[in-house]
Chain A
Amino acid sequence: MFQGIDFDLEPGELMEVHGPNGSGKTTLLRCIAGLFKEESGHVDVAGEERPLYLGHKPGLSLLLTPLENLRWYLALQGREPRREDCLSALRRVGLNGSHLVPCRSLSAGQQRRAALARLVASSAPLWLLDEPFAALDESGREIVLSIAQAHCHGGGAVVCATHEDLGLADARRLELAA
């Protein structure tokens, strides 16, 4: 799919991955996440904790509420899914009143926000975001950017595959050819 890619991502860095459709942005992120076995070469992720992966699929059960989905996500990692923490994470992404509604009754944008609440609640140092702005409105976009920047300032790292220009001056950029 692609070859000759070599980069080191340091704590505090945000890297945008650009490229036309089918150039392998998703595959690259899934390789880093460990969901896709690379044919050659290797990926090293420092630390014990698995990276956070936000892909095309929302990773939400449509029959559960955003709150239940988030609590399951945290419990899966062996963390105590405290209701207060989850609620504040959902508030942060702008889902104030809808945490008690099953996800299938939410709009596409709200579902995306429910998935984004994982970023706020996560303790993973490395975030892999695949088209995080899909279905989001302007304020949702702002929220993602500010959460991602706050994560980088806190010593985390972000790899973000996108078609848009994020407008971040200090971001690194990786171009994948078709």
Chain B
Amino acid sequence: MIALAQAGRDLRIAFRSRGEAAHPLAFFALAATLFGLGLGSDLETLGLVAVVAIWVIALLSCMLAAESLFRRDFEDGTLEQMLLHGRPVFLAVLGKLAAHWCVSGLPLVLFAPLVGFMLQAPAQALPVLTLSLLIGTPTLTMVGAVAAALTAGLGRGGLLVALIALPLYVPVLVFGAGASVVAASGLSALPQLLWLLAMLAAAVTFAPFAVGFALRLSQEY
């Protein structure tokens, strides 16, 4: 109920600032297009690199989106009200992160097959690519949120968010891109996908608490 209320509010805000909310997807589409243009017409190379490129671009896109996750709420004071009254806070945080993923992560997952097709990724890799993004991007959102929460009180935490989040992003990238590459060569990607699921389970379990705690610290200025 609390999580739903928070998620509903955040989705409403995202809808009212559609232009801003579409930034991650625009970045994703632009970077993928430029990548395709840069690699040129060597279709064989392009196909091999495409799945990895899509994963890297999705990761950077999630990181860019995470950076501003709490900024507006911090500035207008709704964050302190959420920390004060959200009972328990981790549920409100969970709702917030779910809404954030729906706006910044889910569109990437939905567009990934299209972008993969555009970049000549092997057809048999597309389902696994999409599935790995579906499992992997929520983890990226959760980890990015912890970094964003730690820097929420600092104003512009851009580079700091990247420095905190990137080391934790690496395993997700390794298994996410790994799953797609394995699938491209026709093998089973199940082990990698299970690893991704395990990381998602850990992130969903711990990240809301870590974010709540970090946001509390941000109030002590």
Contacts and interface: CB of A to CB of B under 8 A. Distances in A.
A53 B76 contact: no
Contacts of B6: 72, 76
Main secondary structure of the interface of B (DSSP, over half): helix
A120 B85 CA distance: 16
A136 interface: no
Contacts of A58: 76-77
Interface in B172-220: 219-220
Contacts of B5: 71-72, 75-76, 81
Given A72-B5, A76-B92, A60 B77 contact: yes
B32 to A, nearest CB: 30
Contact of B78 (A33, A37, A59): A59
Nearest to A115: B77
Interface residues of A, number: 30
Contacts of A73: 81, 85
Chain A CB count within 10 A is highest, among B81, B86, B87, for B81
A35 interface: yes
A61 B77 CA distance: 8
Given A36-B220, A37-B220, A76-B92, A55 B9 contact: no
Interface in A75-98: 75-78, 81
Given A53-B84, A61-B72, 14 more contacts: A35-B80, A36-B219, A50-B87, A53-B81, A58-B76, A59-B76, A60-B77, A60-B78, A63-B16, A63-B17, A69-B78, A72-B6, A73-B85, A76-B5
15 contacts: A30-B219, A36-B220, A53-B84, A55-B77, A57-B77, A59-B76, A60-B76, A61-B13, A63-B12, A64-B13, A68-B12, A73-B81, A75-B2, A76-B86, A77-B85
Interface of B: 1-2, 5-6, 9, 12-13, 16-17, 72-73, 75-78, 80-87, 92, 219-220
